[in-house]
Amino acid sequence: NAGVTQTPKFQVLKTGQSMTLQCAQDMNHEYMSWYRQDPGMGLRLIHYSVGAGITDQGEVPNGYNVSRSTTEDFPLRLLSAAPSQTSVYFCASSYSGTRSTGELFFGEGSRLTVL
Amino acid sequence: GNSVTQMEGPVTLSEEAFLTINCTYTATGYPSLFWYVQYPGEGLQLLLKATKADDKGSNKGFEATYRKETTSFHLEKGSVQVSDSAVYFCAQAGGGNKLTFGTGTQLKVEL
């Protein structure tokens, strides 16, 4: 199984540029989420979705948009990149409801640098 | 709000040494607790979990016991190997599938 696939793995942007980080999972998970990982701060939740057509904000949503048009895909959009968004981004998914075990399955991460 | 606090790293040990990484949490109620591990260049993966007080999670020689009296979930391993070098994250379950993570503790094991 491919699991959770993120693209691109590395990206360099200039301030003000826009881009989309892609995330796809093939495990038929209802729940998908985006985290950012920064030194000394652990992982912080940006946005999450409990199913197609449903999204909600996490701890640090400002500057990011998401959509969930299918169960498999959960893209993260940066509309106008800022240096403060330099980070490593992780997509994670899991079952929810009665099938939930609490375990999140993570992608390999996308390292973004904003100059 | 809910939070997770883990010991600062990096932790450097010799192979076959005993490992403890401390983790404490604050929460209302008794959330499920987790340890995740991140090997270099990879995403996080679940190492072990405990869903209620006094539960012991174990995997790959690692153990952690859910202690509600001390609100702790310390990670231990009796004899570490070089291959255990990684970053370890303690986490607690929030509402739904959301997890709150600690800041991570880097472990380096040397020969």
CB A23 within 8 A of CB A35: no
Chain A residue with the nearest C-alpha to that of B37: A106
Q: Which uninterrupted H or E stretch holds B95? A: none
Q: What per-residue confidence (pLDDT) applies to B82?
A: 96
In angstroms, rounded to a whole number, what is the distance separating the alpha carbons of residues A85 and A12? 11
Residue B9 has pLDDT above 90, yes or no: no
Interface of B with A (CB under 8 A): 4, 32, 34, 36, 41-46, 49, 51, 89, 93, 96-99, 101-104
Residues forming a β-bridge with B24: B5, B72
For A110, nearest residue in chain B (alpha carbons): B43
Longest dimension (CA), chain B: 43
pLDDT of B96 higher than 80: no
CA distance A14 to A16: 6
Does A85 lie at the interface with B, CB-CB under 8 angstroms? Answer: no
pLDDT 10s per residue in chain A (115 long)? 679 999 999 999 999 999 999 999 999 999 999 999 998 888 999 999 999 999 999 999 999 999 999 999 999 999 999 999 999 999 999 988 777 777 899 999 999 999 9
Backbone angles phi and psi of B91, in degrees to 5 = -150, 155
pLDDT of residue A63: 96
- Which of B32, B44, B93 has the CB atom closest to A106's CB atom? B44
Residues of A in contact with B51 (CB under 8 A): 102
- Amino acid, single-letter form, for residue B89: F
The answer to whether A90 contacts B44, with C-beta atoms less than 8 Å apart, is yes
pLDDT at B106 over 70: yes
Q: For residue A1, what pLDDT is reported?
A: 63
The DSSP secondary-structure symbol of B71 reads T
Mutate to test the interface with A, among B21, B49, B66, B97 (most CBs of A within 10 A): B97
B101 to A43: CB separation less than 8 angstroms, yes or no: yes
pLDDT tens per residue, range B32-88: 999 999 998 888 999 999 999 999 999 999 999 999 999 999 999 999 999 999 999
Q: Does the pLDDT at position B92 exceed 70?
A: yes
Q: Is A7 on the interface with B (CB under 8 A)?
A: no
Query: How close, in Å, is residue A77 to chain B by CA atoms?
Result: 20
CA-to-CA distance for A109 and A61, rounded, in angstroms? 18
